[in-house]
């Protein structure tokens, strides 16, 4: 039998390899339009971000390796353009030489996949606009980011790939904005309240998210992208990634007679099309939903592989059938993982189910084990049968295990009761004694049986709690304006709360609210509701209560650059990051407008040349950040991290010896942005001075760089003048005429360079330019004078390397809570200097940065 397979990524290569293993006598020819086959498309964002270091790691098999392993003949750069089912032949174009080729077949497999949709927007062809579908796309984007030193990115599209590329651009130190025309991220994947949780988390992590926003134009100057124009305004960008979706590569089949829906090939459960001996699999086909039987498109690498394998088995004569998909997916966000399978609430209703949902916040492992975190789990089940229909989960840890349990249960028609006593694995590093999935099942079962009466986050957001009195059940009062109840002391009716009063019971995660409801029911209370997800998931506010901000939120927004004004309970001063104390006229206008719209209208300058917008109400923080981000500005500059760089204006100053603006901006991009997620023992401040005048006190910072000009004396040209112009020019009086020859004490000279060209006889015209680096300075409550490294560095690259080594040394050898000066004092300056002048710290860089260290840090402002 002669089989021709068109498409060489997931479904095509899997089908070919499996079929060849089942019958070595079958001749299989695989045609691929691309040069690469069998590549890891799902890994592309992580190649852009650097987690995957080399392009070669994305290539599962080269054509040569694949042929050697399987015996399949592979022809790359062959684009099929016609299928003639009557004559059983495929017409393809050889993209290397332009010639047409003919491939007869006994059986044909179409696995041509899908391609990125690039909407026909004005400017979409500009340099700096990318899609993300093939290794070439990822390679081009990664190269561009480095070559152009991109700082600001816009990702158009908030689906799986869009959010993954956003995370990886953030990891590279870029300021990232995600724009989606849909009213939520991951539309048709998550229910709105779960999507909103993801959006809030992304915003906390530093990603700007604009939903319900349409991109209308790509802006460019000289064909180089400068931003995007949206229905919400202009967003400045150095790079734009289009991730608005994909379309199946099936246009070439339009006159073949093959049955399609919305461009997708219709197949049966053995992946057969309506044409004789023509099969199809992967991103170009529409299969069915396992639960509902309705047609469903699942463009996932996992589905493609399963389909390819099943197709091969059916083609080889086995009675194998593909049961369909559940829309399973997982996504990695900054510091948070998300997953889902089955039906969303809306999808279940459309399928005719009478459903019930529950949202539970649980520990993901034993709470006392280091690194324990949480799962936010939403379950959806059929009310009558208690059959599980869907799940959505968020958490920093292994959400995939929660999803996989649900996949197994849904696929086998499990009822909630079937999960109650399953013998799941338990040990403190891995799980809780009652598995988190089972805990969520208990919550939903309690709700279905009436043991728990609750209000969902979606209902709360829609205003269902309007007539309810909010009862705070946290161990300590935490909700302004709510009636706090000490759970441990509730042994009867609560004074001031009527038994028929509508009470919304709210705690930290939901458990204490349930405990209180149980007691109150026993005491005759009839209208209590527990808020699912409690304050962990919901923004709980009591109408008319004095606005205050929880300590947790004060800490959270501090990390975003907003410091609480001690005179108020809910107003903050937001730090607008300037790269070196310099702002453009346009930026100044934006900051002034932001201060008027979102703050008190006042702007102050901090001692580190950072602008602060004063008096920003807590509710205005995210709108302010969004407004600034749309204009290429950001807030931040707090926490135990590298701080924004402060620079004098040595670039333009009469005494300036180096381009301080350029150097400080490069330090800012490389270490403030590039190390934004690197936690240190304490804050790490960097200052750049143009000369030894030390206007910005580089030697009182954790690390300071000072421009140097080391004079060189040509004694043969010295006339020993009675009034020496060089001596007169020296501001610290270390230039002296001794025995008729001018000399400079090398140990005392501060290398300000003011003596250069002062001699009328050219005794000092030559000099060596360079940089002096101080380490271990600090000022504030405790002052420490930094000490200069012995070496005067002659190149900017050397200085940047030393800065990076100092940061790495501080992270690796500093103790949480101590300043860099303390670390140097403890280790000894000589030992620190020896490390900073060698390359061993750089060699240990990845190991250092990947270590879980200084998760709290010592910075308080």
Look at residue 198 in the predicted model and tell me its pLDDT: 95
Look at residue 41 in the predicted model and tell me its pLDDT: 78
Structure tokens at 335: 């510091």
Please say if the pLDDT value at position 818 is more than 90. yes
Reported confidence tier of residue 556, pLDDT bands at 50, 70, 90: confident
Give 828: exposed, middle or buried? Use CB within 10 Å, 0-12, 13-18, 19+: exposed
Q: Which residue has the higher pLDDT, 208 or 318?
A: 318
Reported confidence tier of residue 546, pLDDT bands at 50, 70, 90: low
Reported confidence tier of residue 547, pLDDT bands at 50, 70, 90: low
SS3 273: coil
SS3 591: helix
Alpha-carbon gap, residue 277 to 107, rounded angstroms: 5
Q: Give the list of residues 6+ apart from residue 303 with CB closer than 8 angstroms, or none.
A: 282, 287, 325
Structure tokens at 411: 């696929």
Report the chain's mean pLDDT, rounded to a whole number. Answer: 93
What are 685-705's pLDDT values in tens digits? 999 999 999 999 999 999 999
The listed range with the strongest mean pLDDT (229-233, 401-405, 634-638) is 401-405
- For the chain, which domains are there? 2-115+248-315 (3.50.50.60), 118-240 (3.50.50.60), 335-448 (3.30.390.30), 454-537 (3.40.250.10), 551-630 (3.30.70), 639-707+770-861 (3.30.413.10), 715-764 (3.30.70.20)
326-332: average pLDDT: 94
What are 245-304's pLDDT values in tens digits? 999 999 999 999 999 999 999 999 999 999 999 999 999 999 999 999 999 999 999 999
Any idea how long the chain is? 861
Q: Which residue has the higher pLDDT, 556 or 326?
A: 326
What are 648-682's pLDDT values in tens digits? 999 999 999 999 999 998 999 899 988 988 999 99
Torsion, Cα 644 646 651 653, to 10 degrees, reads 160
Please say if the pLDDT value at position 684 is more than 70. yes
Please say if the pLDDT value at position 581 is more than 80. no
Look at residue 280 in the predicted model and tell me its pLDDT: 97
Alpha-carbon gap, residue 551 to 478, rounded angstroms: 9
Please say if the pLDDT value at position 378 is more than 70. yes
- Decide if 31 contacts 90 (C-beta within 8 A): yes
Please give the helix or strand (H or E) that residue 192 lies within, else none.
Answer: helix 192-205
Alpha-carbon gap, residue 215 to 549, rounded angstroms: 35
What are 846-861's pLDDT values in tens digits? 899 988 889 788 887 7
Alpha-carbon gap, residue 166 to 145, rounded angstroms: 13
């Amino acid at each position: 039998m002669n089989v021709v397979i068109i498409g060489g990524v997931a479904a095509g290569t899997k089908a070919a390899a499996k079929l060849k293993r089942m019958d070595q006598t079958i001749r299989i020819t695989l045609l691929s339009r691309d040069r690469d086959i069998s590549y890891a498309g799902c890994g592309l964002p992580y190649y852009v971000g650097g987690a995957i270091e080399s392009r070669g790691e994305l290539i599962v098999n080269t054509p040569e390796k694949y042929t050697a392993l399987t015996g399949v003949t592979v022809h790359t750069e062959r684009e099929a353009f016609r299928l003639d089912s009557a004559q059983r032949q495929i017409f393809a174009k050889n993209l290397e030489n332009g010639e047409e080729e003919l491939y007869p077949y006994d059986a044909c497999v179409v696995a041509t996949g899908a391609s990125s949709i690039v909407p026909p927007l004005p400017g979409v062809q500009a340099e700096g606009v990318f899609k993300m579908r093939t290794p070439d796309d990822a390679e081009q984007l990664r190269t561009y980011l480095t070559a152009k030193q991109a700082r600001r990115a816009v990702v158009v599209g908030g689906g799986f790939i869009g959010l993954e590329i956003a995370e990886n651009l953030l990891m590279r130190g870029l300021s990232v904005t995600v724009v989606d025309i849909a009213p939520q991220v991951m539309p048709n994947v998550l229910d709105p309240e779960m999507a909103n949780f993801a959006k809030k988390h992304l915003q906390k992590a530093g990603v700007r998210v604009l939903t319900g926003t349409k991109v209308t134009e790509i802006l460019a100057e000289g064909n180089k992208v400068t931003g995007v124009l949206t229905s919400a305004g202009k967003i400045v960008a150095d790079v734009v990634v289009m991730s608005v979706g994909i379309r199946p590569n099936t246009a070439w089949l339009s006159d073949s007679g093959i049955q399609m829906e919305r461009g997708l090939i219709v197949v049966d459960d053995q992946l057969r099309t309506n044409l004789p001996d023509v099969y199809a699999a992967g991103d170009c086909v529409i299969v069915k939903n396992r639960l509902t039987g309705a047609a469903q498109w699942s463009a996932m690498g996992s589905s493609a592989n399963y389909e390819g394998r099943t197709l091969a088995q059916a083609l080889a004569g086995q009675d194998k059938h593909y049961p369909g998909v559940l829309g399973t997916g997982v996504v990695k966000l900054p510091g948070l993982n998300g997953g889902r399978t089955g039906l969303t609430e809306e999808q279940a209703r459309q399928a005719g189910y009478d459903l019930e949902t529950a949202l539970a916040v649980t520990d993901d492992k034993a709470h006392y084990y280091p690194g324990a975190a949480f799962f936010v789990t939403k379950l959806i089940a059929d009310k009558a049968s208690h059959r599980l229909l869907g799940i959505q989960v968020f958490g920093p840890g292994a959400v995939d295990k929660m999803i996989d349990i649900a996949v197994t249960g849904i696929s086998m028609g499990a009822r909630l009761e079937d999960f109650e006593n399953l013998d799941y694995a338990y040990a403190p590093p891995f799980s809780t004694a009652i598995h988190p999935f089972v805990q969520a099942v208990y919550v939903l079962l309690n709700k279905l049986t009436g043991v728990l009466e609750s209000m969902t986050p979606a209902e709360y957001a829609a205003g269902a709690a309007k007539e309810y009195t909010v009862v705070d059940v946290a161990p300590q009062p935490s909700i302004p304006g709510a009636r706090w109840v000490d759970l441990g002391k509730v042994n009867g009716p609560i004074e001031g709360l009527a038994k028929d009063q509508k009470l919304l019971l709210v705690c930290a995660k939901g458990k204490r609210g349930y405990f209180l409801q149980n007691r109150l029911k026993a005491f005759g209370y009839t209208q209590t509701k527990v808020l699912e997800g409690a304050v962990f998931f919901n923004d709980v506010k009591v109408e008319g209560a004095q606005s205050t901000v929880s300590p947790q939120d004060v800490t959270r927004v501090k990390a975003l650059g907003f410091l609480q004004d001690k005179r108020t309970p809910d107003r903050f001063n937001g730090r607008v990051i300037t790269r070196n104390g310099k702002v453009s006229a346009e930026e100044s206008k934006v900051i002034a407008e932001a201060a008027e719209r979102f703050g008190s209208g006042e702007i102050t300058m901090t001692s580190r040349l950072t602008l602060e917008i004063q008096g920003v109400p807590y509710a205005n923080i995210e709108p302010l950040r969004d407004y600034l981000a749309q204009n290429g500005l950001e807030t931040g500059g707090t926490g135990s991290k590298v701080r924004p760089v402060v620079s004098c204006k040595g670039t333009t100053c009469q005494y300036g010896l180096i381009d301080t603006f350029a150097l400080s901006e490069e330090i800012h991009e490389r270490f403030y942005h590039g190390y934004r997620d690197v936690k240190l023992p304490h804050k790490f401040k960097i200052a750049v001075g143009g000369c030894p005048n030390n206007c910005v006190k580089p030697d009182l910072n954790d690390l300071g760089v000072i421009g140097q000009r080391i004079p060189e004396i040509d004694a043969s040209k010295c006339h020993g003048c009675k009034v020496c112009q060089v001596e007169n020019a020296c501001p610290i009086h270390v230039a002296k005429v001794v025995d008729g020859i001018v000399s400079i004490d090398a140990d005392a000279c501060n290398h300000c360079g003011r003596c250069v060209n002062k001699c009328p006889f050219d005794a000092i015209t030559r000099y060596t330019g360079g940089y002096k680096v101080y380490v271990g300075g600090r000022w504030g409550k405790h002052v420490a004078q930094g000490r200069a490294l012995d070496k005067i560095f002659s190149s900017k690259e050397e200085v940047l390397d030393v800065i990076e080594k100092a940061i790495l040394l501080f992270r690796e050898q500093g103790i949480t809570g101590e300043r860099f000066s303390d670390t140097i004092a403890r280790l000894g300056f000589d030992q620190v200097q020896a490390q900073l002048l060698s390359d061993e710290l750089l060699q240990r860089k990845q190991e250092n940065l990947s270590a879980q260290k200084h998760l709290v840090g010592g910075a308080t402002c």
